[in-house]
Structure formats: C-alpha cells, structure tokens
Structure 1
Amino acid sequence: MRILGIDPGLQTTGFGVVDAEGAQLHYVASGTIRTGARAQGDLPGRLKVLYDGIREIAARYQPQAASVEIVFVNVNPQSTLLLGQARGACVTALVSRELPVAEYTALQMKKAVVGHGRADKSQIQEMVRRLLRLPGLPGKDAADALGLAITHAHAGLAIARLAAATPLVPVTTGMYRKGRAR
C-alpha cells in the first residue's frame, strides 16, 4: 500500500510518501510545499497553493491512503485558526482525489516512530532516516510527514485486523432524540 503523509502548515507543509508491504517500509518521496511566494495577507492565495500542491503530489505518486496531523489549540488562537485552514485545504485536496484520510495527533506519531510522545524534531528525523534507510536526514517538515505515513502503515494494518476480527456496532451515545440530547 502506498501512503501519503501530510504535515500541514500555512507557510510550509511537509509531505512524505512510503510504500508498505506488510511490516516492510520503502521510501518513495518527500519534500515541502511553501507558500512564501504569496503575500502574508493573501490567505486565500496561500490556501490555493497548498490545495493545488497536494493534488499534484497525489496525482504524481498515486497513493492508496493518506494520513494528516490533527491540529491542537496552541497558545495563540489566531495561529491555530490559520493552521486549521491550511489543514482544511490539505484534507480537501486529498478527499477531492478520493483518498481515504486517517488523522493522527503529533503525540501518536511520535510514539509510533520514536517510542515516546515527547520526542523532538531531531529525534523524529533520525528515526525516520533509520526506519526508511535514508542516506541523510530528511527536512523537519518532511520527516514529520514521513512519520505520519509510517504511523498509518503500522496503525492501519492493526485497525484492518481489528475490523476483520470484530463486527462494527453503531454507537448511540450523544445522539439526539426530538431535538434534545438524551
């Protein structure tokens, strides 16, 4: 299975593509999409750069699945909103290419790749280099994106096994009845 990982950012969005054959992982490509050529105040233009870039990457590498980092609220709410819009542009581009999109937190990715959730960027870069047998360190944003693809390669396999082993049952907790919560 070919997996595209996306580390969304308004200025720099990382991408990484890996092939997963069982437990074996193979590096395909990685890099960044930069929106710096657009004016800082041109948010719609920057979002279009991200949308077009993700669609182009998906068309070029033909992944079967994608994984994207989930955004959490930061200290600065304005930054969080802008990052959420960048993430939305990326997810929309993936869905428009009819790709299934899995979402993982930074903590989940760090645990899957490094083994603990407080790993710093350099540790992620080094572990991605080792896991994919790369000759050098990938860039920070590309390493995070490759880490998300690796996380999905491992988690996706486990989720598929669970789904095959147990029937899915709809959950009714929090559902509405007659306009009111139960």
Structure 2
Amino acid sequence: MHPWTGLHALALTAGLLGCSALAHGEAGAAQLRGAVLCLDATSVQLRFEGLSAAQQRPLSSLKDTLNRALLGVFRTAHVRHETRASCQTSQAFTRVLVEVRYLNPKTYVGFGDPAYAYTLRMAVGPAEARAGTSASKRPAIQFASAWSDIHSEGNTKKPLSGVLTALGQEQARDLARAWQHDNP
C-alpha cells in the first residue's frame, strides 16, 4: 500500500463532509500517547497540477521550508521526534502532502489570475496498515489534519508560498498540541 493512500481517503472524507470555502480540522481523535514522531526525506511531498515551470519555481523551496517548520515547532513545544533515513517502519511516520492545482481563468472565472486550489494534509501513523493486527492491542498511533481552500495571488497580491508556509506551521502547532495533550 502506498503511504499516502490513507491521506487520499482522508481527503475524500473531508471533501464529502464539508464543502466550505476553507476546510480545516482534525479527522477523528488523535492517538499520540508515547509517540516519537518520525521524519525522513519523504515526510514532506509536493504535487502540482497544471502549473507551469515558472509557477512551480516559487513553490520549489516549500518542501524544505515545511520540514524546517515542523522541526522548529517540535523543538519549541518539546515534542519527542527523530529524523531517520527512513520512517517506513515507524508507527509515528509524520507526513505532509501539499497538492496545488492552477485554476485556469478561462474555466474558473472570477478568481483572478493566478489562482490556485490547494490542499495541505498532515498525518501521523504507520506507513502502511499492518495485516493481522488485533483491535484489542494498544491503539495505533494516529493523527490527521487537512486544510483546503482557493488562493488568488491576483486578488490578494500575496504569494501562495507564504500562505502554504503559514498553514503548514499552524498544522504543525495543531499536531504539537495534540501530542502534548496525549503526553502530559
């Protein structure tokens, strides 16, 4: 199973449950007791749809920026975490997926140009579900949160990269608060 399959299910669920201009929130109760959050080179992933090379360029540093934001928030909040070469075997694999789609003004009238639909998802849990695990065992480590909205650089005069960085930091703080709640 691909590590992002659970996030795609989360996105579909979030999309079906709420269709507001800005959707944000945690999906279900977090379970982070005893978790040592794990980050690796694949923890932050970017996916672009319909963006030209020139539109992608300002977003190219977003992966490193969000990774630094996670580490900074974890250190400041004293969240137990580690950076590994691979978190594929970790029960607390921490992942961020940023998806950005360009809204062509010929199709998406009234949003300004350039405008983008984006989703920023954060999840903590095993890289893939383990077959044969018993529900009577200690609950699996889990956390999921998502932001989804439309941003018009044309109308706001604010770059999308700054908006996504700020939202990524906010999600990292949400995760830190959930971790602190479960690990007093």
**TM range, normalised to the smaller chain?**
under 0.3
TM-score norm. by structure 2 comes to 0.23
Q: Which structure has greater helix proportion?
A: 1
Q: Tell me: higher relative CO, structure 1 or 2? Use CA pairs within 8 A at least 6 residues apart.
A: 2
The TM-score with structure 1 as length reference comes to 0.23
